[in-house]
A = this chain, B = another copy of it.
Amino acid sequence: MQKFIGCDLGGTNLRAAVVDVDAGTVIFQQSVPTLARQGHDAVMKRMADLIEHTIHRAGFSKKEIQGIGIGVPGVLDLEKGETTFLPNLYGNWRQVPLRDTIQLQTDLPTSLLNDARAITVGEWKYGAGKDFDTIAVFTLGTGVGGGLVVDGKLHLGFGGSAGELGHMTINFDGPRCGCGNYGCLETYASGPAIASLGIKAVVQGLTTQIGELCQYDLNRITPALIAQAAREGDPIAQDIYKQAGYYLGIAAAILCASVSPKRIIVTGGVANAGELLLEPMRKTMRERVFIMPVERVEIVLGQLGDNAGVIGSASWAALNINSPK
């Protein structure tokens, strides 16, 4: 049994898991607050300590662990092992030598990967993408991330920056995106985008169960609450997911015409809405693609849930450390 640490550097929490990379399962995991405001040195120190502690608590010695994979929310320079741009993490993370710092502090070979690409690797190796050579993954959360596996290989592009499917321009006249562009998929299908449509409906005074469910406290409106209203038959809430699904379907249609994935996997917190989101996504994709056999492209939910990231990071480390390039 090959054991690697899968780590997740999140805006709120740091997470470390001992992963059996043969089976693709989490043996033991822990998390601590990121406390990003203390700066990157403190965060990296906390991460190294968490890793050591997790190995120990899991009942292993460091010699039994073959390496560390870290999923990072942003743009990386994979060759240098540095962070380039982490928009969702407090402070200046430009050119922070994350890989070498963790490697030095833990004395274990370490690999970095964008967090959505880590989820992609997880789902591809052990989840909904197993046995498919070409897949696209959408991770729907605070932002919309993604990843591409093409012809049996995680497609990296410049420094691992390929597969940013949330930042495909879906509407060139669309709203401003956090990235600086306009009309990115993220502006339509992220958790905040969906929540804001629910908030708008309540503020506008529309007759919708969303209002009752949140007890007219706008702060309580989340994608999960809107999904609940939709499941209870509220048409406004159903329309919100139909709309998000429509834009995801446009993105899927664009991918069919270009990358031609055999499976499209949708995961992340917002994907808990399930068919509320996937059904309009599928419908839109099928209505919009004529130049390839779109009926053969499946859209499915991820299978590893919240563990996809740490399993994927660990598995990526195993791929890299066993056959480095």
Query: A interface vs B, CB < 8 Å?
Result: 75, 85, 134, 146, 148, 150-151, 153, 155-159, 161-165, 167-172, 179-182, 184, 250, 253-255, 257-262, 288-293, 296
Instruction: Determine if B253 and A169 form an interchain contact, defined as CB atoms under 8 angstroms apart.
Output: yes
7 contacts between A and B (CB under 8 A): A155-B260, A157-B259, A161-B260, A163-B260, A169-B288, A172-B288, A254-B254
Measured between alpha carbons, how far is A181 from B170 in the docked complex, in Å? Answer: 15
Instruction: Determine if B259 and A289 form an interchain contact, defined as CB atoms under 8 angstroms apart.
Output: no
Instruction: Determine if A165 and B292 form an interchain contact, defined as CB atoms under 8 angstroms apart.
Output: no
Instruction: Determine if A165 and B257 form an interchain contact, defined as CB atoms under 8 angstroms apart.
Output: yes
Instruction: Determine if A162 and B259 form an interchain contact, defined as CB atoms under 8 angstroms apart.
Output: yes
Cβ of A195 to closest chain B Cβ, rounded Å: 22
Contact of A151 among B153, B181, B253 (CB under 8 A): B153
Specify which chain B residues have a CB less than 8 angstroms from the CB of A164 in the assembled complex.
257-258, 291-292
Specify which chain B residues have a CB less than 8 angstroms from the CB of A151 in the assembled complex.
150-151, 153, 155
Specify which chain B residues have a CB less than 8 angstroms from the CB of A261 in the assembled complex.
157
Contact of A162 among B75, B258, B289 (CB under 8 A): B258
Instruction: Determine if A259 and B260 form an interchain contact, defined as CB atoms under 8 angstroms apart.
Output: no
Specify which chain B residues have a CB less than 8 angstroms from the CB of A180 in the assembled complex.
290
Are A181 and B296 CB-contacts (below 8 A) given A134-B157, A165-B257, A168-B258? no
Contact of A291 among B75, B153, B254, B290 (CB under 8 A): B75
Cβ of A105 to closest chain B Cβ, rounded Å: 29
Contact of A167 among B162, B257, B262 (CB under 8 A): B257
Cβ of A188 to closest chain B Cβ, rounded Å: 11
Specify which chain B residues have a CB less than 8 angstroms from the CB of A158 in the assembled complex.
260, 262, 292-293, 296
Instruction: Determine if A181 and B253 form an interchain contact, defined as CB atoms under 8 angstroms apart.
Output: yes
Given contacts A161-B291, A168-B258, 7 further A-B pairs with CB under 8 A are: A134-B157, A148-B258, A150-B151, A151-B153, A169-B253, A179-B291, A254-B254
Measured between alpha carbons, how far is A200 from B258 in the docked complex, in Å? Answer: 31
Cβ of A146 to closest chain B Cβ, rounded Å: 8
Which residue among A181, A250, A288 has the maximum number of chain B CB atoms within 10 Å of its CB? A288
Specify which chain B residues have a CB less than 8 angstroms from the CB of A262 in the assembled complex.
158
Contact of A163 among B167, B253, B258, B293 (CB under 8 A): B258
Specify which chain B residues have a CB less than 8 angstroms from the CB of A172 in the assembled complex.
170-171, 250, 288
Cβ of A155 to closest chain B Cβ, rounded Å: 6
Measured between alpha carbons, how far is A171 from B173 in the docked complex, in Å? Answer: 9
Measured between alpha carbons, how far is A75 from B291 in the docked complex, in Å? Answer: 7
Nearest CB to that of A292 among chain B residues? Answer: B161
Nearest CB to that of A150 among chain B residues? Answer: B150
Instruction: Determine if B257 and A258 form an interchain contact, defined as CB atoms under 8 angstroms apart.
Output: no
Cβ of A75 to closest chain B Cβ, rounded Å: 6
Specify which chain B residues have a CB less than 8 angstroms from the CB of A184 in the assembled complex.
257
Contact of A254 among B153, B162, B169, B296 (CB under 8 A): B169
Are A150 and B155 CB-contacts (below 8 A) given A250-B169, A258-B259, A290-B181? yes
